[in-house]
Each structure stands twice: as structure tokens, then as C-alpha cells.
């Protein structure tokens, strides 16, 4: 086996639905403002990162249908681990017994892109399948009296299995970046709540994602018109729309679950990607362009071929 493919997928969301109308009761906000300025109508809150990540991973393992002992390991992208140590990835191992290593990656809302790239390279070097999960329980670091963040942030998980295959590599190119000088536009102190300069993040996110996606697509020898599915971090529908417009990718080719999930950080890209997989939007050979950005400031993009 010389190539790689996405062999399994699964998602998990908490049962509790919180609508904009629910938030109207506790915050100085309203449904119309939230829908117009963010595209979000409802979000799911609750659970632990371990429980959501485990549930998503169980589904991904089932779709992949590979021997648990054949795995090289598991990588969990999360901004909200359940404990300082051990990593929440070890708790998933405790629940499921996947063989090999397990470690967490915290690259905020770009975490799933970072983790996908690392996992892919490890599948190549080990010649074994690897689980890559994005899971967050942002509700645990959200100040529910702060309307600038409480309307956006939510909980969820999405998992993929990347496995050796007889096809070409599924990862065609990537770009991973950070600018630590921008730490103070989006951060959460230990034991504290997430603080965000929304306008600054908004502006920088669009610019960073545009530059990064263009670089990846060009370097891989493609053009934006070749892209079948854009999977942006589900931060704000206006950011997603501005990005697809700048890239010249029509809105119907832009994966979007934000209306019902809100911003789930590390989980948002896999939730949107898996929604497209499960609605049969992808065909063998489809080109997927994933991009994420978040605290750090981190950002990154990956170009993937659906096999
Ligand atoms: O995942 C990590 C990355 N995070 C992001 O990408 C988030 C990026 N930022 C955003 O999504 C947006 O900046 C927000 C949704 C956070 C805010 O939207 P905005 O369009 O930038 O609003 P704003 O802060 O400029 O506020 C516009 C107006 C203000 O009123 P005035 O001064 O015009 O009278 C705010 O006080 O809207 C008011 N406002 C609200 N009104 C109702 C701000 N938040 C709310 C609210 N409900 N929740």
C-alpha cells in the first residue's frame, strides 16, 4: 500500500439544543441579530470532550471496519481537554482500546487541520491507520453573560480514520501557520473564560484563510475552479461567505453546518466535512479544500482528494 485514504468518519453532538430564542431570555440579544450577523440559529451544549470524542470515534471505527490492533494511534485536536493531564486522547484510548500512541494537539480552531496533516504523515511513515478527532466543549470556557461569545460557541466532535490504501495519497498539499504576536485577540487563561476581539479576528481570519487556501491550491497545481467542496471553519457565516466569494467558489460548494452547530472550534471542520460525506455530496476524485483559523493566531489549509 503506497497511498492513503479517508476510510472512516463519525460525529457526535450533545443532546441539549439551545436556540437563539433561549439565549434571548438570558442575554441582551435577539434571534434576528444572531441570524443576520452569524448565520447561527441553534447550537448543542453539554457533555465532556472525552464523551463526545469517544462517541464520534466509535462511529468512525465502525465505518472503517479495521482491526483495532492494526491502528498506529490516535490524535485528538482539542482546545478544551477535560484534564490538565493525562491528555483527553488517553481517555479515548481507555474507552476504546485502539492500539498505538495517543496525544492531544491544541491549535485552537485550526487544530483539526493541524492534526489531519500530522496524522496523514504518520499513516505514511507507519503504514498503519490513524484516527484523527476534533472535539471541543467550548461551553465550559464560555462566559454566558458575554453576548459577543455566548451566541457563537458550542460543543461537538467529529472523527476520521486515515488509512493506507492502494490509491494515491489523499492529502495533496497543506499550509500550517501561526502568528503568536496575535495572542491577545483571542485567548483563554487557565481556569478562565474565552475572551475575543471579534472584529479583529473576523478581519484577520478572512485574509489568512484566503492567502493560505490560494497557496495550497496553487502549489498543488490546481485552480479554485477545480475545487468541489470548500470546508471552512464554521466560525461565522459571514466569514464563510466572504471567503467563498473571494475564492470564487460558489456558495453551494461551501460546506455549512453552522446554522445548527454554532462554532465548535476543533470539531467544526470535521462536522461540516462529514455532513457533506453523509449527504453524498462527494464523488470519487472530488477535491476538498479545508481551512481553519483561531487562537494563537493559528491558521491552516489542506487540499484532500476523496477516494
Ligand atoms: O473560532 C475562532 C474565531 N472566531 C471568530 O471568527 C469570530 C469572529 N468575529 C465575529 O464573528 C463577529 O465579530 C461577532 C459575531 C463576534 C460580532 O459581530 P460584528 O458584526 O463584528 O458586531 P460588532 O461587534 O461590530 O457589533 C455591532 C453592533 C454593536 O452595536 P452598536 O455599537 O452598533 O450599537 C454591538 O453592541 O451589534 C451589537 N452587538 C449585539 N447585538 C445583539 C454585539 N453583539 C451583539 C449581540 N446581540 N450578541
Q: Among the atoms of ligand 1, which is closest to the Cα of residue 236?
A: 11
- Interval 257-283 mean pLDDT: 97
**Cell triple for residue 237?**
457565516
Task: Report CA-CA distances (Å) from 37 to 20, 34, 44, 140.
Answer: 12, 5, 19, 24
Q: Output the DSSP codes for 53-71.
A: HHHHHHHHHHHHT--GGG-
Of 133, 208, 119, 215, nearest to 173 by C-alpha is: 215
* 164-194 pLDDT, tens digit each: 999 899 999 999 999 999 999 999 999 999 9
Per the annotation, the verdict on 109 as an active-site residue is yes
What's the gap in Å between 128 CA and the centre of ligand 1? 45
Strand duo 155-165 + 130-137: pairing:
antiparallel
pLDDT for res 135: 98
* pLDDT tens-place string over residues 136-150: 999 999 999 999 999
CA of 31 to the centre of ligand 1 (A): 13
Percent of the chain, pLDDT > 70?
100
Residue 141 to residues 42, 167, 248, Cα–Cα distance (Å) = 18, 42, 36
Give the chain's mean pLDDT.
97
Q: Give CA–CA dist 10/32, Å, rounded.
A: 32
For the question of residue 263 being annotated catalytic, the response is yes
Whether 244 contacts 237, CB under 8 Å: no
Of all atoms in ligand 1, which is nearest to the CA of residue 201?
8
Task: Give 189-201 pLDDT, tens digit per residue.
Answer: 999 999 999 999 9
Answer for the pair 260, 41: CB distance below 8 angstroms, yes or no.
yes
Q: Which tens digits make up the pLDDT trace of 97-114?
A: 999 999 999 999 999 999
* Strand order from edge to edge, sheet including 171-178: 171-178, 298-305, 287-294, 229-232
Instruction: Write down how long the chain is.
Output: 307
> What pLDDT is recorded for position 229?
98
pLDDT at residue 1 above 90? no
Distance 33 CA to ligand 1 centre (A): 9
Name the one residue in this structure whose C-alpha cell is 440579544: 29
Mutate which of 24, 35, 148 for ligand 1? The one with the most ligand atoms within 8 Å of its CB, which is: 148
End-to-end CA distance of the chain: 14
Do residues 299 and 239 touch, judged by C-beta distance below 8 A? no
CA–centroid distance, 47 to ligand 1, in Å, is 27
Domains of the chain: 3-165 (3.40.47.10), 171-305 (3.40.47.10)
- 30 part of the active site: no
Q: Which of 93, 106, 109, 254 is catalytic?
A: 109
Residue 36 — pLDDT band, cuts 50, 70, 90? very high
pLDDT at 218: 98
**pLDDT band at residue 2, thresholds of 50, 70 and 90?**
confident
Pocket of ligand 1 (CB under 6 A): 29, 33, 37-38, 109, 147-148, 151, 198-199, 201-202, 205, 235-236, 239, 263, 294
- Kindly state the percentage of the chain with pLDDT values over 90: 98
Q: Rounded distance, CA 156 to CA 171, Å?
A: 24
Interval between CA 202 and ligand 1 midpoint (Å): 10
pLDDT of 211-237, one tens digit each? 999 999 999 999 999 999 999 999 999
Amino acid at each position: 500500500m503506497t497511498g492513503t485514504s479517508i476510510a472512516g468518519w463519525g460525529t457526535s453532538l450533545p443532546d441539549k439544543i439551545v436556540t437563539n430564542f433561549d439565549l434571548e431570555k438570558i442575554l441582551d440579544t435577539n434571534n434576528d441579530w444572531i441570524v443576520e450577523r452569524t448565520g447561527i440559529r441553534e447550537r448543542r451544549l453539554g457533555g465532556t470532550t472525552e464523551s463526545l470524542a469517544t462517541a464520534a470515534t466509535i462511529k468512525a471505527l465502525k465505518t472503517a471496519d479495521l482491526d483495532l490492533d492494526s491502528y498506529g494511534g490516535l490524535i485528538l485536536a482539542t482546545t478544551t481537554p477535560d484534564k490538565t493531564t493525562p491528555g483527553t486522547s488517553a481517555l479515548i484510548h481507555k474507552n476504546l482500546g485502539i492500539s498505538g500512541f495517543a496525544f492531544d494537539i491544541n491549535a485552537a480552531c485550526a487544530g483539526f487541520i493541524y492534526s489531519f496533516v500530522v496524522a496523514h504523515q504518520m499513516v505514511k511513515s507507519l503504514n498503519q491507520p490513524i484516527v484523527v478527532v476534533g472535539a471541543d466543549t467550548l461551553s465550559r470556557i464560555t462566559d454566558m453573560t458575554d453576548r459577543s461569545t455566548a451566541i457563537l460557541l458550542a460543543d461537538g466532535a467529529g472523527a476520521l480514520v486515515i488509512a493506507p490504501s492502494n490509491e494515491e495519497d489523499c492529502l495533496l498539499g497543506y499550509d500550517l501557520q501561526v502568528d503568536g504576536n496575535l495572542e491577545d485577540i483571542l485567548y483563554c487563561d487557565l481556569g478562565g473564560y474565552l475572551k475575543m476581539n471579534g472584529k479583529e479576528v473576523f478581519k484577520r481570519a478572512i485574509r489568512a484563510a484566503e492567502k493560505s487556501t490560494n497557496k495550497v491550491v496553487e502549489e498543488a497545481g490546481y485552480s479554485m475552479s477545480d475545487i468541489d467542496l470548500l470546508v471552512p471553519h464554521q466560525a461565522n457565516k459571514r466569514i464563510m461567505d466572504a471567503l467563498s466569494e473571494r475564492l470564487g467558489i460558489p456558495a453551494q460548494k461551501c460546506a455549512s453546518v453552522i446554522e445548527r452547530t454554532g462554532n465548535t472550534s476543533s470539531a467544526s471542520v470535521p462536522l461540516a466535512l462529514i455532513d457533506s460525506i453523509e449527504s453524498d455530496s462527494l464523488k470519487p476524485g472530488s477535491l476538498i479544500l479545508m481551512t481553519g483559523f483561531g487562537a494563537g493566531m493559528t491558521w491552516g489549509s489542506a487540499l484532500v482528494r476523496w477516494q
